[in-house]
Amino acid sequence: MDLTRKKGLNSNQIKLIAIAAMTIDHVVWLLFPGCQKIWWVMLLHVVGRLTAPIMWFFIAEGFHYTRNVGKYIFRLFVFAVISHFAYNFAGGIPFIPNGMFNMTSVMWSLAWSVVLMVIFTTDRLPQWAKIVLMIAICFITFPSDWSTIAAMCPVFLYLNRGNFKKQSLAMLIWTAMYAAVYFIFLDKPYGILQMCTLLSLPILKQYNGERGSWKGMKWFFYIYYPAHLFVIGIIRVMMGGGSIFP
């Protein structure tokens, strides 16, 4: 289905919203490490919840529009490796994983998400093989930020492309799963906070299917994401801080 329409927001504009929200969120983590239960700090983290679902959405869009899936996957994995060191440095997390949660950036899951899109859409694999590979990728992506949710949700956004109601339902289901895990096992207020990712839906609904006039946004995001994390990491070290992410 052709999503292009003149009114609304183009992908560049929506990505800028995601970048601004992400920057606010990460600066707040730096200044108020952990999930501090201060109302206005939590409100700023609500703003930060806009970022992840926008990233998921445009990973799916990227898979639809890419002319070379292999290059797209390779670029995302290179990006994921660079972002691993940036994210862990920013958060005060060991470069070699020593735990089960938040051991690397969300980019690791997003790169594998595109692999899953290839698996889900190919006719060369039997159904049992697709299920086995999906389970394996879920284990591989579990320790990253947003865990396996960031690998699975973009797949369903892609499979339901052109049907925003079904895409919204997919985002609700996968976000609720992540929020439930945090609520039950880790941090109840932070688990509730994750449901605020759904505030991104009114923004994504305005997507007009157009890229925008500036062609450099893709590379700008690839550079900005790890660069701003390295800057946060430097400031964190200068402040003498430890881990900042929950």
Q: What is the pLDDT of residue 1?
A: 44
- Whole-model pTM: value is 0.93
Six-digit token string for 244: 């900042």
Query: Does any domain span residue 226?
Result: yes
Cα dihedral 44, 233, 53, 16 sign: positive
Mean pLDDT (whole number) for 195-210: 96
Q: What is the pLDDT of residue 99?
A: 80
Query: Does any domain span residue 245?
Result: no
Query: Does any domain span residue 50?
Result: yes
Does residue 2 have a pLDDT over 70?
Answer: no
Q: What is the pLDDT of residue 72?
A: 96
Query: Does any domain span residue 246?
Result: no
What is the band of 4 on the pLDDT scale with cuts at 50, 70, 90?
low
What is the Cα–Cα distance from 156 to 61, expressed in whole angstroms? 12
Q: What is the pLDDT of residue 6?
A: 67
Which range has highest mean pLDDT (93-102, 111-120, 179-188, 216-225)? 111-120
9 in Cβ contact with 205 (< 8 Å):
no
Query: CA nearest 15: which of 50, 66, 64, 67?
Result: 50
Mean pLDDT (whole number) for 213-227: 91
Query: Does any domain span residue 5?
Result: no
3-class secondary-structure state, position 38: coil
Please tell me the total count of domains within the chain. 1
pLDDT tens per residue, range 148-201 = 999 999 999 999 999 999 999 999 999 999 999 989 988 898 999 999 999 999
Query: Does any domain span residue 1?
Result: no
Six-digit token string for 68: 């070379």
Q: With 0-12 CB in 10 A as exposed, 13-18 as middle and 19+ as buried, what is 201?
A: middle
pLDDT tens per residue, range 112-131 = 999 999 999 999 999 999 99
Six-digit token string for 29: 């983590």
Does residue 246 have a pLDDT over 80?
Answer: no
Q: What is the pLDDT of residue 163?
A: 97
Side-chain half-sphere exposure of 110, counting CA atoms within 13 A: 29
113 in Cβ contact with 155 (< 8 Å):
yes
pLDDT tens per residue, range 24-83 = 999 999 999 988 889 999 999 999 999 999 999 999 999 999 999 999 999 999 999 999
Q: Which residue has the higher pLDDT, 15 or 4?
A: 15
What is the band of 9 on the pLDDT scale with cuts at 50, 70, 90?
very high
Query: Does any domain span residue 20?
Result: yes
What is the Cα–Cα distance from 189 to 124, expressed in whole angstroms? 44
Which residues form the domain of 82?
11-238
Mean pLDDT (whole number) for 8-24: 96
3-class secondary-structure state, position 124: coil
Q: Which residue has the higher pLDDT, 155 or 4?
A: 155
* Block residue for tokens 């299920």: 131
Query: Does any domain span residue 244?
Result: no
